[in-house]
Structure 1
Amino acid sequence: RNLCNHGPYFLAANSSLCGLAANNFFRNILHVRRAFLVSALPMAVIPFISTAAVYEVFVREPLFSGDLSCELCAVVRGGITGAVVGALYPIFLALPLNASLTARYSSSPLPGKENLLRYWLTTAQPVFRKMSLGVLIQLITGLYLATKHHGIYVKILQQMSASRDPEELQ
């Protein structure tokens, strides 16, 4: 019961940690030393809220309303939500945030318009490598939560069908 109620918040808290880690990696690469709180606060709050909301809307709510009864579908949705919204989204969110801080404080030389894409790809590549463990953890956590939520859903259905059995009512 506790897992059913508070499980998505654990996934969301991990998402916040992924956001803070990605923010820290980008800050170190781009040599941003100022405005730590300005960049850390949104990197903790926005991934938390978005991960909890997306898991609720795409996994938990359809499962318990009866719209999603396939176990594999629920598990895949949970895994995708964990990996994409819980880990990749905070990484992609940290990139423009730290890019704007780099431009504002001139902490690192920025390229011209002709090399812009290549510069940001080479800047983001080590962060994605370092965060691959975070993506894997979020994927496994999302899979686990969706599996447990589906198990709870099946138990609820079994209890409801057992209580409707006419032989048990007599």
Structure 2
Amino acid sequence: MTGREFLEPDSPQQRLYLDGLKRIEIMQKILNELPKADQNLCYQGSYFLAANASLCGLAANHFFRNILHVRKAAIVSALPMAVIPFLSTAAVYDVFVREPLFSGQLNCEVCAVVRGGLVGAVVGGLYPVFLALPLTASLAARYSSSPLPGKENLLRFWLSVSQPVFRKMSWAVLVQVLTGLYLATKHHGIYVKILQQMNTSRDPEELKA
């Protein structure tokens, strides 16, 4: 397809695109008429998952610093571990769960819930731990706070350092999974409310009046 069909007047591609924009506009208008609790959960719900990701990053950073005996640059290492997981988790959840739901592209409740759980586990739980490891390792090497092995024992050393941290963080990852599942379930429930409002409306044009 070269795109010519989409640009032609009244082409099927153009009609589908315009229908999609019209549907999104109607859904947005209905969402703005829902109770404030539903609106806040829709627009700000991902921030709860993101805030937990920041806590996971700070906790993982603390554990790695203790194991490697890093005492310097506490604020310098804590700041990225709080900010980066927060921004990453909020952005990924919105892209893969919230936006597809409220644009009508994700209709399956199971799919939405699974996506929410995966985002919570991978981006909100495991990613901050993986992010903390190289950051703390670079500080340990810079300040010589802990003797680091040679290349032949490098993998074994970092595995032994990471295992206790991952064990301690397992509960945090589980909390993130449950939080992602809960948010996706609630967001899908709000999406269903919007669909019910659309179906009970006799004339969808009235919604734009």
TM-score past 0.5 threshold: yes
Please tell me whether residue 129 in structure 1 is matched to residue 194 in structure 2: no
Structure number with larger C-alpha Rg? 2
**Pairwise mapping of residues 4-83 of structure 1 onto structure 2 (< 5 A)?**
4-83=42-121
Deviation of the 1:164 alpha carbon: 2.7
Deviation of the 1:165 alpha carbon: 6.6
Deviation of the 1:28 alpha carbon: 0.3
Paired with 2:121 and 2:80, the residues of 1 have a C-alpha distance of 19
- Could you say which residue in structure 2 is the equivalent of 1:151? 189
Q: Secondary structure at the match of 2:81?
A: helix
Deviation of the 1:3 alpha carbon: 1.4
- TM-score using structure 1 length: 0.96
Q: For residues 54-93 of structure 1, what are the alpha-carbon distances to aligned partners after superposition, in whole Å with 9 as ceiling and x for unaligned?
A: 0000000001111110000000000000010001000000
Please tell me whether residue 97 in structure 1 is matched to residue 135 in structure 2: yes
Paired with 2:86 and 2:121, the residues of 1 have a C-alpha distance of 13
Look up the equivalent residue of 1:157 and give its one-letter code. L
Structure 2 segments unaligned to the other structure (5+ residues): 1-37, 205-209
Identity among equivalent pairs (%): 81
Paired with 2:202 and 2:57, the residues of 1 have a C-alpha distance of 47
Paired with 1:153 and 1:101, the residues of 2 have a C-alpha distance of 46
Indicate the RMSD between aligned Cα atoms, in angstroms: 1.0
Paired with 1:116 and 1:38, the residues of 2 have a C-alpha distance of 25
- TM-score using structure 2 length: 0.78
Number of residues of Structure 1 aligned to a counterpart in Structure 2: 166
Paired with 1:117 and 1:125, the residues of 2 have a C-alpha distance of 12
- Could you say which residue in structure 2 is the equivalent of 1:86? 124
Paired with 1:94 and 1:79, the residues of 2 have a C-alpha distance of 22
Look up the equivalent residue of 2:66 and give its one-letter code. N
Q: Which has the higher relative contact order, 1 or 2, with Cα contacts under 8 A spaced 6 or more apart? A: 1
Please tell me whether residue 116 in structure 1 is matched to residue 154 in structure 2: yes
Paired with 1:148 and 1:139, the residues of 2 have a C-alpha distance of 14
Paired with 1:82 and 1:15, the residues of 2 have a C-alpha distance of 8
Paired with 1:50 and 1:86, the residues of 2 have a C-alpha distance of 8
Paired with 2:50 and 2:138, the residues of 1 have a C-alpha distance of 25
Paired with 2:44 and 2:102, the residues of 1 have a C-alpha distance of 15
Look up the equivalent residue of 2:199 and give its one-letter code. S
- Could you say which residue in structure 1 is the equivalent of 2:8? none
Look up the equivalent residue of 1:54 and give its one-letter code. V
Deviation of the 1:6 alpha carbon: 1.2
